């Protein structure tokens, strides 16, 4: 069983209170790790360490020196690739190929890409006229924002944590990460990487624990934290925003979604079925960008539902390293209860269950895991709970539509605005619809294909702000203007 500590000022430390909590495997509910729960004392110590690093060696590095260290971090993650894959598989139970192809390499890339961004992005300069005719020159300099609190979810823990830590450090800040209580492994491993590479102590810190009345709340309320970047549920974002308002701290929020998939009758049928299947069921549906509402143009509706059903019924449940398996469990028993409660609600609200709706029969110890069947519904009104609320499980509701205007209205009829995936061979229509859907990111004939240099974030209740490439500099730095009278 792993013993996970907090990582403060370059040292792995227990909690002064002696408090620990257990992490259970999603696969079979065994306890697989014991984690030191940070209290106010550890959060205070982390803030102090982060502040002194900011004013110490780290703060004195040139951009080039920082960039070299971050390349070193990326290379060390790649050298220890298998350790990260194993750690993330243990926490999430998701298949090895998802870790090796997407989640871990993208985590390493987050350090390289943002190192390159800070090296190459200029600041602005304006010449201005003055009454004496001699003029003045304005130029901006970017400075780090300070100590950044990074509060993370469990669904793609390493990718989503490094997506914040990479740019924050590239910009010269120091960070205190609060990983999800459900997935603390890779944040801790990253501490080992930071020490191995020689990142100064206190630059990267980790405090483990829960949200309310625990490390999450202590961190986000702490007056020594200058800004907070958060990925998680919209409701949690509301609580963190209240905390951040004390002291007027800046926030960057990546929140929930209830994303629409739109399939026109002229789409490449097989590609659309594959694409919607991935977007609804990858990572067992635990992807913020996932599709829980699917709208299919009426002429191909029945055929599409049947094809998606066959694919969903073909998934093979199993352990991450089982080469015959391609499908993992949900993160926890608690999350499974939530997802299953939506499965019941769908039936109560009159859904036709096309497939799934329950729990698969699993052999031996796996019977204790957090497994659920991929589930497809039809026949519900747009007011039904499973059509309106984010479930964050492997499920979707499919509804037919008859016109472009109708499907745009349906897609936009939600409090969320994170992503959409559109499937059609009529590219003019694809662009037209993409421009009208109220989301931060739209895919045309693809899904979850994203260059890290692009703007990423949500509209409406799916987030505040944009990160990615140069957009991350807006959050992780402050621009100071200097005006020189000539
Ligand atoms: P969550 O909001 O329950 O928890 C996220 C983190 O916040 C955890 O570390 C948790 O301990 C902490 N937390 C909870 N309450 C807190 C409080 N009051 N103060 C401070 N910290 C607190 O989210 P989750 O269940 O871990 O993740 C799933 C959610 O994340 C889904 O809603 C999903 O859509 C969203 N998500 C969004 C994106 C995106 O980019 N928009 C990406 C991934 C996940
Ligand atoms: O692609 C990314 O970098 C990104 N932020 C993905 C988010 C996945 C959410 O579950």
pLDDT digits (tens, 9 = 90+) for 13-57: 999 999 999 999 999 999 999 999 999 999 999 999 999 999 999
Angle at 61 between CA 176 and CA 470, to 5 degrees: 65
Three-state DSSP class for 178? strand
Is the CB of residue 481 less than 8 Å from the CB of residue 138?
Answer: yes
Both tokens of residue 59? Answer: 């703060």
> Which bound ligand lies closest to the C-alpha atom of 282?
2
Q: Which pLDDT score is estimated for 136?
A: 98
Atom number of ligand 2 nearest to Cα 110: 3
pLDDT in tens, 349-385: 999 999 999 999 999 999 999 999 999 999 999 999 9
> Where in 157-249 does DSSP place strands (E)?
174-178, 204-206, 227-231
Alpha carbon distance 408, 401 (integer Å)? 10
* Per-residue pLDDT, 430: 98
Half-sphere exposure of 357 (CA within 13 A, CB side): 15
**Which pLDDT value is given to residue 313?**
98
Residue 387 Cα to ligand 2 middle (Å): 22
Average pLDDT, the chain: 98
The closest alpha carbon to 16, from 1, 24, 5, 27, belongs to 5
| 103 ligand 2 Cβ < 6 A | no
Ligand 2 in reach of 161 Cβ (< 6 A): no
Q: What is the token pair recorded at 157?
A: 């823990």
Measured CA angle at 253 (ends 91, 188), to 5 deg: 30
How do residues 245-287 score in pLDDT, each as one tens digit?
999 999 999 999 999 999 999 999 999 999 999 999 999 999 9
132 CA to middle of ligand 2, Å? 53
Would you state the pLDDT for residue 235? 97
List the residue whose alpha carbon is closest to atom 34 of ligand 1: 256
Q: How far is the CA of 23 from the centre of ligand 1 (A)?
A: 17
Q: Tell me how far the alpha carbon of residue 9 is from its chain's centroid.
A: 26
In the sheet with 20-24, reading across from the earlier edge strand, the strands are 2-4, 31-36, 20-24
Burial of 482: CB neighbours in 10 Å, binned 0-12, 13-18, 19+: exposed
List the beta bridge partners of residue 126. Answer: 138
Q: Identify the DSSP state of 200.
A: P
Residue among 206, 133, 204, 213 nearest 169 (CA): 204
- Among protein residues, the one with the nearest Cα to ligand 1's atom 8 is 180
Show Cβ contacts of residue 189 under 8 Å, excluding neighbours closer than 6 positions.
80, 83, 84, 87
Average pLDDT over residues 97-108: 96
91, 233, 249, 418: residue to mutate for ligand 1 pocket, most atoms within 8 A of CB: 233
Does the beta carbon of 113 sit less than 6 angstroms from any atom of ligand 2? no
Residue 163 in contact with ligand 2 by CB distance below 6 A: yes
Q: Establish whether 254 is a catalytic residue.
A: yes
Mean pLDDT of 397-401: 98
Active-site residue, from 254, 292, 297, 390: 254
Burial of 433 (0-12, 13-18, 19+ CB in 10 A): buried
Residue 156: what pLDDT? 97
The pair of three-digit structure tokens given for residue 16, joined into one six-digit string = 């002064």
% of the chain with per-residue pLDDT over 70: 100
For 308-363, the pLDDT digits (tens) are 999 999 999 999 999 999 999 999 999 999 999 999 999 999 999 999 999 999 99
Task: Give the ligand at the shortest distance from the Cα of 330.
Answer: 1
Average the pLDDT over 172-200 and give the result. Answer: 98
């Amino acid at each position: 069983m792993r013993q996970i500590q907090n990582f403060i000022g370059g040292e792995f430390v227990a909690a002064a209170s002696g408090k620990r909590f257990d992490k259970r495997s999603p696969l079979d509910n065994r306890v697989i790790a014991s984690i030191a729960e940070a209290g106010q004392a550890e959060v205070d110590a982390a803030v102090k360490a982060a502040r002194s690093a900011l004013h110490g060696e780290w703060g004195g590095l040139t951009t080039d020196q920082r960039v070299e260290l971050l390349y070193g971090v990326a290379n060390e993650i790649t050298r220890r690739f298998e350790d990260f894959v194993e750690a993330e598989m243990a926490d999430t139970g998701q298949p090895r190929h998802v870790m090796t192809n997407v989640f871990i390499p993208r985590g390493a890339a987050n350090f390289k890409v943002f190192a390159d961004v800070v090296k190459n992005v200029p600041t602005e300069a304006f010449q201005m006229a003055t009454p004496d005719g001699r003029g003045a020159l304005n130029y901006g300099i970017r400075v780090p924002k300070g100590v950044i609190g990074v509060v993370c979810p469990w669904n793609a823990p390493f990718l989503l944590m490094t997506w914040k830590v990479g740019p924050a450090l590239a910009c010269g800040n120091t960070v205190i990460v609060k990983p999800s209580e459900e997935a603390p492994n890779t944040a801790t491993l990253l501490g080992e990487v930071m020490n191995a590479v020689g990142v100064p102590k206190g630059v990267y810190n980790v405090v483990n624990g829960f949200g309310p009345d625990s490390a999450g709340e202590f961190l986000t309320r702490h007056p020594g934290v200058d800004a907070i970047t958060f990925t998680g549920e919209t409701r949690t974002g509301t609580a963190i925003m209240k905390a951040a308002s004390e002291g007027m701290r800046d926030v960057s929020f990546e929140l929930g979604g209830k994303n629409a998939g739109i399939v026109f009758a002229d789409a490449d049928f097989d590609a659309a079925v594959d694409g919607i299947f991935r977007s609804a069921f990858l990572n067992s549906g635990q992807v913020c960008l996932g599709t829980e509402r699917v709208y299919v143009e009426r002429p191909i509706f029945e055929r599409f539902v049947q094809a998606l059903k066959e694919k969903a019924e073909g998934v093979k449940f199993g352990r991450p390293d089982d080469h015959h398996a391609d499908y993992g469990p949900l993160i926890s028993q608690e999350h499974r209860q939530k997802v299953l409660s939506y499965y019941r609600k769908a039936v109560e609200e009159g859904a036709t269950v096309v497939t799934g709706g329950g729990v698969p029969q699993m052999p031996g110890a796996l019977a204790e895991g957090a497994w659920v069947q991929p589930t497809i519904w039809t026949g519900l009104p747009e007011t039904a709970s499973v059509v309106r609320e984010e479930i964050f499980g492997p499920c979707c509701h499919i509804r037919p539509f008859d016109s472009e205007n109708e499907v745009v209205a349906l897609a936009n009829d939600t409090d969320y605005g994170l992503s959409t995936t559109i499937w059609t061979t009529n590219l003019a229509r694809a662009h037209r619809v993409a421009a009208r859907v109220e989301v931060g990111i739209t895919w045309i004939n693809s899904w979850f294909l994203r260059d890290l240099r692009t703007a990423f974030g949500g509209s409406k209740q799916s987030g505040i702000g944009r990160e990615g490439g140069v957009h991350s500099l807006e959050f992780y730095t402050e621009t100071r203007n200097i005006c020189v009278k000539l």
